[in-house]
Amino acid sequence: MQRTFIWYARLCRLFGCLYISNINDKTLKTCKASWKSIYTLYALACLAMLVIFEGYSILNKIGCNVGWNCGFGKFLGTISHSVCAFEVFWSIVCLAHGSTRILKFLRGAADFEVSSGFMGPRSTVTLLFYESLTYVSSTCFCEVLLRYLKAQVTALDKLLPAITSRVELRDAAARIETIRVNVCTINELKNIVNEIWCPALVASSGSLVVLTCVAMYRSFTELHPEAMVANSYAAFCLLCFVDMVLLSDDLGGEIRYLHDAVDPDDMCLTAGRFFRLDRPLLVAMAGSVITFTVILVQTSGDLKHTMETKA
């Protein structure tokens, strides 16, 4: 787990988001999560620069859009920028506020690997560089939890065919109980991840619906570079969210496979008690995007004017 997260942790500390000092890939004994350090001043300086830069940019766009003089598409561009800033703010808050829980998760994962004899890969190349803080950390943690679960599934698959006598059945029962305990431990680690990122998951999913609706509308009405960049960003966010949902659903799929032997709580990530991150969520969000896009198209004169001009 430490080897998987170490490079993301260093990058987060560089940008003033993670309050865990002395983090390395060898030991967690010297690591400490604390706000009372010089690093806090550095983090506040980074946050202040971000707020000033983004705030100035948004205020300029709002000033341009006063009285709707720049058109509905420009106004939607301002909304998209504000939504992105809101999502980034919540991601930073969740990561900073959850630094103690992240350290708890890392230590719990290290203890689990020792107690269960889990041997992870020496290196990880599937998760290298990601734009979103929420996507980076939650996907990284869920990837590790998925490996833990697959190790338990493999252990169960090897155990069940080998049962041929009552003695072996009693021994198998003890091993199945060990697997159940391990899965419950993994579930506790998943709950820590949920506690860290619950507000950010709510914000990112809601923001994604808005960004996608605006991007689809502007793709019909505006073709200037700014709109194309915004649409590309929305597409990237959509792909990140889909990947995160599929990974979360894979966690649930592994636990459903083990359900006959162990019976812990659901393993999917949840945004509080609002919804779960699984494949049906993608269908619901797609329906919302289509509905809101139709509303925007039908209630705006920009698209009608564009179509009449092309005709």
Of 97, 170, 94, 171, which Cα lies nearest the Cα of 134? 94
Q: Rounded CA gap, 296 and 216, in Å?
A: 10
Provide the whole-model pTM. Answer: 0.73
Residue with tokens 């946050």: 47
**Count of other CB atoms within 10 angstroms of residue 57:** 13
* 129 pLDDT more than 50: no
What is the average pLDDT across 119-136?
Answer: 52
User: Using one digit for the tens of pLDDT, what is the confidence trace for 69-119?
Assistant: 566 667 777 787 788 888 888 888 888 888 888 888 888 888 888 887 776
What is the average pLDDT across 184-212?
Answer: 87
**pLDDT (0 to 100) of residue 130:** 36
Q: What is the CA radius of gyration of the chain?
A: 23
User: Average pLDDT over the chain, rounded to whole?
Assistant: 78
Measured over the CA atoms of residue 233, residue 14, residue 91 and residue 186, the dihedral's sign is: positive
**pLDDT (0 to 100) of residue 212:** 86
As to burial, measured by CB atoms within 10 angstroms (0-12 exposed, 13-18 middle, 19+ buried), residue 223 is: exposed
Q: Which amino acid, one-letter code, is at 281?
A: L
Q: Rounded CA gap, 152 and 255, in Å?
A: 10
**pLDDT (0 to 100) of residue 53:** 84
Q: Rounded CA gap, 72 and 300, in Å?
A: 8
**Count of other CB atoms within 10 angstroms of residue 32:** 15
**pLDDT (0 to 100) of residue 294:** 81
Q: Rounded CA gap, 261 and 272, in Å?
A: 28
Residue with tokens 């966690």: 251
Furthest CA-CA distance within the chain:
82
User: Using one digit for the tens of pLDDT, what is the confidence trace for 37-69?
Assistant: 888 899 899 888 888 888 887 777 776 655 555
